[in-house]
Structure 1
Amino acid sequence: MVSDDHLSRIRELKFKQLLVFERVATLGSMHKAAEAVHMTQPNVVKIVRQLEELLDVALFERHSKGVRLTVFAEHLLTRIRPMLGDVRAMSEELTALRGGDGGQVAVGTLISASAWLLPESAALMKRRHPRVGLVIREATNDILFPMLQVGELDVIVGRLPEDPGEGVEMHAIYQDDLMIVARAGHPLSRRSDCAVRDLLDYPWIVPSNASPVRRQVDQFFLDRGLPVPDNQIVSLSMLTNLGILARSDALAMLPSVAARPLIQVGVLFEVPIHVRLPFGAIGYSVRADRPLVPAAETFVRVLKEVGARAQSGIA
């Protein structure tokens, strides 16, 4: 049973204290948290100390590069993140009720969507709804889906995973495949046909081991009795990958919807091995237990409209 003393301490908690604590815990630094909440660092330190005194626990261990969470902080963080997400959603809904075409959408994206689907959707969204803010976070599934589950993100755009975790609802927009690409003017561009073995002569840009695309790249060679390329650049950044492709003879597997516009304008070419690998369903994921805020509903409608162009081959 919770004692009267503990209930009294909980009642004294202030929203600002929890907000500051969450920023320090997430960013791992008092200094970075102060910048994020537009406060001075001494004020952030003071608020954290007040919270520690109120709860009678140590929340952080200080070190030269920032702070580490104690077990108490980790537990508190899991409790307050959903609450802060709900407060943000409430603010967006109140903005919509006041009749303004405003609000903000927090979008997570994977490399499969960051080169075409999301930029096209974001551009169309801003043309139609200039007062809606977009905050975009590119990362891997293991980072994005926990953020979605606690309300830090409204929607995740990209390849739909096999197991997104509890409380997530996924919606497919179109099916995509992978093509092997290189820069225009690559030595292989002078050939009308290539053997898979020929591809081992060049560097390969590959995602990290946790990525499903990485497993498909490896399996592509293993299924043909060939070794996995050992001359590798491991990168999840689409911008970096395109820069490397433009400046070297490297090869990469890219989703066809992302690669096709770059092939059409002569930046990339598809390596002529006449094989494409299935990539999977591209779409969006949302929380199953919460309705979308109005701005996010609008963004999803735009996303579906843009995705329909890819499905019909007009991308």
Structure 2
Amino acid sequence: MIENRIKFRHLFTFLEVARQKSVMKAADQLNISQPAVTKTIRELEDVLGVAVFERDGRGIRITRYGEAFLKHAGASITALRQGVDSVSSELSGDGIPVRIGALPTVSTHIMPRAMQLFLKEKTGSRLKIVTGENSVLLEQLRLGDLDLVVGRLAAPEKMTGLSFEHLYSEQVVFAVRAGHPLLGSDNVFSRLSDFPLLMPTRASIIRPFVDRFLIVNGIGSLPTEIETVSDAFGRAFVRISDAVWIISAGVVANDLADGLLATLDIDTQDTKGPVGLTVRAEVIPSLPLSILMQTIRETARDIA
């Protein structure tokens, strides 16, 4: 049978090459030689009867057969990890680990309060929370390195093998320091190019919304544009300068409530998008993860 010929090393190597999009980088991460990685992938392709990777210029890319296999390979490794974690937890007395990817829009607005509620449940779980660009977090989720991603709904082509639960909708805002020259202005768009603009990176999930919104309002180019995914930098830079920060409302919700930042009088309803929970479609959440997801739902209902 085909499943008896596919070994753990085949799956693990396949997932690492898919993650790195490079045999060389995968070999470095796995601490084995490039020929060994290549041989393992060829063995897998021989078993499957199809190519899972193909050349793309100087690099490689996953084939449509590889994409189809990817979600099942990731689910298999995840199930195995969960089994090992369960045994390890029983032996050590520790709770099952919970690994969360949180976009900046929920990292400061939703997650701290949700985590307070979760810790009251005393699951004993080891917690890991990471943030970053949506595409990176979703890839880590798909490959089993994360159990949950909390943030905006990704584009349909990015959601293969994943499931999204809508919690609330959120729009982009134009945030500035208190006393900014554009506050109260009637012609914000005509003057916007006079100030530095902090923009989401081109790989970020809200960038297409922002680009369309600016074009619709007659802004095709920006003389001084700074791309960043760092909310810490954005918050600090805006407070000491006349920069305008185009960012999801949740990232600056606390700053707005505290009066540290303000928003320009711009109707940004067209940038509104769903925020929620993304998990692997075929994986049953552990009890601690289920509890955390429920505390996130409760927090979202209360403050979103």
User: Normalization by structure 2: what TM-score?
Assistant: 0.72
Q: Structure 1 residue 306 and structure 2 residue 291: aligned?
A: no
Among 133, 146, 164, the residue aligned to 1:139: 133
Counterpart residue number, 2:178: 184
Correspondences of 1:1-315 after superposition (within 5 Å): 33=29, 81-94=74-87, 102-127=95-120, 128-129=122-123, 131-141=125-135, 143-163=136-156, 164-188=158-182, 191-196=183-188, 197-224=190-217, 226-231=218-223, 232-271=225-264, 273-277=265-269, 278-311=271-304
Structure-2 separation of matches of 1:160 and 1:150:
18
What are the Cα deviations for residues 14-61 of structure 1, in whole angstroms up to 9, with x where unaligned?
A: 969987997799678699859xxxxxx8x999x98xx89x99xxxxxx
> 1:138 Cα deviation (Å)?
2.2
What are the Cα deviations for residues 264-315 of structure 1, in whole angstroms up to 9, with x where unaligned?
A: 21221112x241334211101111111012221121111111111123xxxx
DSSP-derived class of the 2:219 partner: coil
Partner letter of residue 276 of structure 1?
Answer: T
**Count of residue correspondences:** 286
> 1:86 Cα deviation (Å)?
1.9
What are the Cα deviations for residues 221-260 of structure 1, in whole angstroms up to 9, with x where unaligned?
A: 3223x22342300112222222221232111222223322
Report the more deviating stretch, 105-114 or 285-294. 105-114
> 1:118 Cα deviation (Å)?
2.6
Partner letter of residue 184 of structure 2?
Answer: S
Residues 274 and 165 of structure 1: CA distance in aligned 2, closer, same or farther (over 3 Å): closer
Across the aligned residues of Structure 1 and Structure 2, the Cα RMSD in angstroms comes to: 4.1
> 1:186 Cα deviation (Å)?
2.4
- Contact 1:108–1:157 (CA<8 Å) still a contact in 2? yes
Counterpart residue number, 1:65: none
Structure-1 separation of matches of 2:131 and 2:78:
16
What are the Cα deviations for residues 126-182 of structure 1, in whole angstroms up to 9, with x where unaligned?
A: 4554543224242322x3323322322211110112314322111011111222111
Percent identity reads 22
Residues 102 and 294 of structure 1: CA distance in aligned 2, closer, same or farther (over 3 Å): same
Structure-2 separation of matches of 1:160 and 1:11:
37
Report the more deviating stretch, 88-97 or 201-210. 88-97
Structure-2 separation of matches of 1:132 and 1:216:
36
Structure-1 separation of matches of 2:61 and 2:133:
25
Structure-2 separation of matches of 1:110 and 1:249:
26
Structure whose alpha-carbon radius of gyration is higher:
1
Residues 88 and 281 of structure 1: CA distance in aligned 2, closer, same or farther (over 3 Å): same
Partner letter of residue 145 of structure 1?
Answer: L
Which ranges in structure 1 are unaligned for 5 or more consecutive residues?
A: 35-40, 56-67
User: Normalization by structure 1: what TM-score?
Assistant: 0.70
DSSP-derived class of the 1:103 partner: strand
Partner letter of residue 227 of structure 1?
Answer: I
DSSP-derived class of the 1:169 partner: strand
Partner letter of residue 185 of structure 1?
Answer: G
- Contact 2:13–2:26 (CA<8 Å) still a contact in 1? no
Report the more deviating stretch, 129-138 or 154-163. 129-138
Residues 136 and 274 of structure 1: CA distance in aligned 2, closer, same or farther (over 3 Å): closer
